[in-house]
Structure formats: C-alpha cells, structure tokens
Structure 1
C-alpha cells in the first residue's frame, strides 16, 4: 500500500468512476485499477461494489475511504508543520468557516491576521457547520469557525461570540397588518430556510418545534444572502442571524413576535481534540481571534 493508491481510491469513490478518476489524476485506467487491486489485497476485502446497476463502496470500503482521507490529511498537516518549524510563521493555515461567520465576521479577522503575519498563506473553505466539523475530523482543515455548539468527542471547541437570531418577515406579508399576532396567525405559512447541516437551519427548526408552529412549506436556499433576498421578494418568513440582517441592510424585515422569546446562539472555534495537532500558526490565529472579537 502506498500514498498514491490511497489518493487514487479516494478520487475513484468521490467521482464514482474509474474513467473519471484516471482523467482527473492523469493516470491510465489500468493504473487506477492496479492501485485499487493493491488496496483490496492489502486489506483482504472488496472495497467497491461494481455491479452493473451501481457503483459504490462496500461497508469495508467506506471504512477505508474515511481512514484514507484522515491519513492524507495528517500527512499534509505534517508537511505544513515541518515548513512552519523551519520558517517560523510561514506556511499555510487551512481555515473552515460556516456561512454566517465566513461571509460576515471572518473577512475583517483575515485582514488583521494578514497584516500581522504576511508570510502565512490563508486558505479559507466556506461550508455549512456540519461540513466544517467533518473537515476538522478528517484533518483537511486546521481550524473551524462555526455556528452553535459542537458535540463531537473527536473535536474540541470554545465559544467566541454571541449571536442573536431574529424572525424576518416580508414587508407586504399579512402578518404585518395584524394589531396583535396570535399563535394561530403563525400556522401554515411558508418559511425560507438554509440547507440541512446548517447551524442557522437548526435554530429555525428548534424555534418552530418549541413553539408548535406548523410550516405550510419550507423553501431551502443554500446561502444567507439567498434567504434574505427570498424574504425580501415575499417567499416567506425565516429565522436568521441579526448579524446577517444588519450586514444586508435588511433591518426593516425584522418582526418582533411577543410570545417568541429572543433566541441567541454562540459562534464556536473548532479544533482537533489532541492539542499536539494544533500548529504554531493556528495557535497564533486563535490568540488573534480572541483579542479581535473582544474589540468588536
């Protein structure tokens, strides 16, 4: 077994094709097949179900896929740490951020870090909270900034900023004409939501469940900007971060509903649970994060 075999296997699984993987990796198809065969011989198992009607990893193939991603992530991290050792604060920090943090909070933090440590390259990945947490687990990211609490034993986290969640309603919505909004008035409306795995969606679903609000329909949009624009266009109601609303200059969409209490959550910094995996660059980044947020 070698690194190239693991890299090849990962790409075959992700592209669900030997042919596509060979083109992406610039390898011949026989070479791709050879790497997969080597892995199957090494692990003494069939890794891929290649029946005529489907192409997917077997159960053992899933295990090897997840571990292969972790191993390659660790090797990449080791290379970065060696570079950091020889060049001090040089090298790269792979930062993952959920959409709310990545779009509205992280840019000013990146500017401050870049001005202080210009020799460090910053690579930013913006995905939903669940995907960022998974990236830290697989060692594909060095540090994550996400919405909500993190309850995974493989990860450690600490809160760094409180965030208020507000109800936003189209300016022409019938609710706005009510002198007093009742529980029944909130039933069976369309709600605009972020995608599954988003911290923002989790809060909205919790609000609907806690107050027994029945949604007539949920429209899913994969970005905060898209949700705000959807509400502006009259698609429906939503629960979203006040940070997003203020940065979008959409304060007029906020509607206070008396029996729904103000909801808050924290943004969290996510790290590997093993402190030995936290590089010097990341340690400096975290120190700057804590000082920077205190000034906001």
Structure 2
C-alpha cells in the first residue's frame, strides 16, 4: 500500500463516485477500481456498500476514512515541511578544509561563489585533515577539501587540483647563489615541520622516505601552521617544504627563496571528499561545479 492508494480512497469517499474520482485524477475507472480493491485486500475487508451503482461506506470504511484522511493530510504536510527545509538548506553551504586549502585557496573561491549566490550563508571550518574528515562523517559540514591522505572507504573522494610542494630557505642561506641542490644536502639542514597529524607533513614524509632521505633529516622544529613556518624560515631558523599555494606571494615579494631539488619533483593532489548520498543540495552542487572549474573561474 502507498499514500496514493489511501488518497484515492478518500477522494472516492468525498466525491461519492469512482468514475468522477477517476476523471479528477486523469485515470481510467478500472484503474481506480483496482486501487480500491487492492486496499480492501490489504485490510481483508470490504470498505463500501455497493447498491444500485452507488457507493457508500460500510462500517469498515467509516472506521478507516478519518484515519486515512489524517494520514494523507500528514503526508502532504510532511512534503511541504521537507520542501521548505530543502529551500532553506539550499541557502546554506558548510565547507570544511585542511589548513593550506582553507587559508590560501578557498577564500578567493568562496568570494566568487558568494558573488554568484548572494543569499547563500557560507560556513567555513578550517582544521587538520583528520578533524575535517570527522566533521564530514558527523554531518557537521557538507563537503571537505583536504590535501592529506583519506583512508575512509565510505567517502566519495576525487582530485580537484594538483599542488606542488617546494623547498624554501632564508634569504641569507648558503644556497642563495645556487639554482638547485642534491636531495642528500637536506640532511645537513634544520628542517621545520608541521605538526605530526598534518596532511601535508604526512605526504612530505612519504615522499622523502621514498627517496631514502627521511631518517637522515634533523627534525629541528614543529609548528602548528604554515604561516608560522613561513615566519620561522624568514627569520633564518631553518628550511621547510611547503605548498606552493601558501608561498607564491611571499616568493614574489622576496621574503625567502625557493630552490629546486635535483631530479626531484614533489607534488600532491588536493581532494574533494563527500559522503555517499543519493541527494545533493543545490548549493552544494553549485559550489562543486565552481570548484571543478577552478582554473577558469
């Protein structure tokens, strides 16, 4: 049984005629008759008295009618309530991002989105990758943008952009006059890292481990943000490997320098992460569409 069957039952009762109910519903009379008989089969009882071509409710039908009427009415109200909720939800966008993306990529992108969707209220949560993914899992946010490793197979994960990781050093460093170094020279330097849970750090460590150099590098300092790392490098405290997104402006302003590592290219994907769902709100769809055209927006 479905709501439509109960709705048809109520309509037949209100109109007093199967043929008229069929006309109002743009159905054939046999189709309406079939629905009534199906309803009677479900309840195991006749619902109408049929006499001289006229229908009237019997005792079973009179018992069912007010209940069916209430169910149909409640269903209508439930649809209206959900539609209102959807309309309100479509005016909200909750995004979670890991630090590099949240601080250096998203502000400009969210600004463009806001210009296109002025009535949409935007919430941005910036945390490390594990915390962002936890927020997504608990439905605190609609989607996540992270640079770290995503190990949850229940998420829908797709790359949105490639980000290069670059080696930076102070202006007065001994590498200043050089254009590239050998990767083994990193073992002679003081490396400044993000915190151990940082998605960026995990990726860099994996890349350096693959080159056989990670265990030779001095873990000189750990800082909780890319901005703090940039300030430390500027102050001459050490070197670091960071996202190009985070240092493009600083390099242009000659705050510190980038140096190439011979025969080595560090890169990583930036990921769009969503929960698997049959439905996607329009505000989320619109943002994802803008995100996937990031190079042309």
TM range (shorter): 0.5 to 0.7
Task: Give the Cα separation in 2 of the matches to 1:88 and 1:132.
Answer: 21
TM-aligned CA deviation for residue 209 of structure 1: 1.4
Between Structure 1 and Structure 2, how many residues are aligned? 213
- Once the two structures are TM-superposed, the CA of residue 166 in structure 1 deviates from its matched residue by 0.9
Q: Secondary structure at the residue paired with 1:240? A: strand
CA offsets per residue over residues 79-118 of structure 1, 9 Å max, x none?
x97654244732x221101111111111111111111212
2:244 to 242, 245, 255: 242
Supply the distance in 1 between the matched residues of 2:93 and 2:179 (Cα, whole angstroms).
53
Displacement of 1:138 after TM fit? 1.5
1:220 aligns with 222
Q: Distance in 2 between matches of 1:204 and 1:81?
A: 46
Q: Which residue of 2 aligns with 1:189?
A: 189
Alignment CA distance shift 1:200-1:183 (3 Å)? closer
Give RMSD over aligned pairs.
2.5
User: What is the distance in 1 between the residues matched to 2:228 and 2:207?
Assistant: 20
CA deviation after TM superposition for structure 1 residue 221, in Å: 1.1
Q: How far apart are 1:160 and its partner, in Å?
A: 1.0
Which runs of structure 2 are paired with 1:1-296 in the superposition (5 Å)?
Answer: 83-87=84-88, 89-90=90-91, 92-176=92-176, 181-182=181-182, 184-213=184-213, 214-249=216-251, 252-259=256-263, 261-276=264-279, 278-291=280-293, 293-295=294-296
Runs of 4+ in 1 over 4 A off after TM superposition: 80-84, 175-184
- Find the counterpart in structure 2 of residue 35 from structure 1: none
Using the TM superposition, give the Cα deviation of residue 128 of structure 1 relative to its aligned residue in structure 2, in angstroms.
Answer: 1.3
Query: Residues 174 and 88 of structure 1: is their aligned pair in 2 closer, same or farther, counting only changes over 3 Å?
Result: closer
Cα distance change, pair 231–120 in 1 and its aligned pair in 2 (3 A): same
SS in 1 for 2:259: coil
**Per-residue displacement from partner, 1:26-76 (whole Å, max 9, x unpaired)?**
xxxxxxxxxxxxxxxxxxxxxxxxxxxxxxxxxxxxxxxxxxxxxxxxxxx
Residues 182, 262 of structure 1: alpha-carbon distance in 2 compared, 3 angstrom cutoff: closer
- Higher radius of gyration, 1 or 2: 2
Offset of 1:175 from its aligned partner? 4.2
Distance change (3 Å), C-alpha of 1:184 and 1:200 = closer
TM-score by length of 2: 0.64
Structure 2: give runs of 5+ residues left out of the alignment.
1-80
Cα distance in 2 between the residues matched to 1:117 and 1:81: 22
Distance 1:116 1:189 in 2: 47
Structure 2 Cα separation of the partners of residues 134 and 196 of structure 1: 17
Shift of 1:178: 7.0
- TM-score, normalising length: structure 1: 0.64
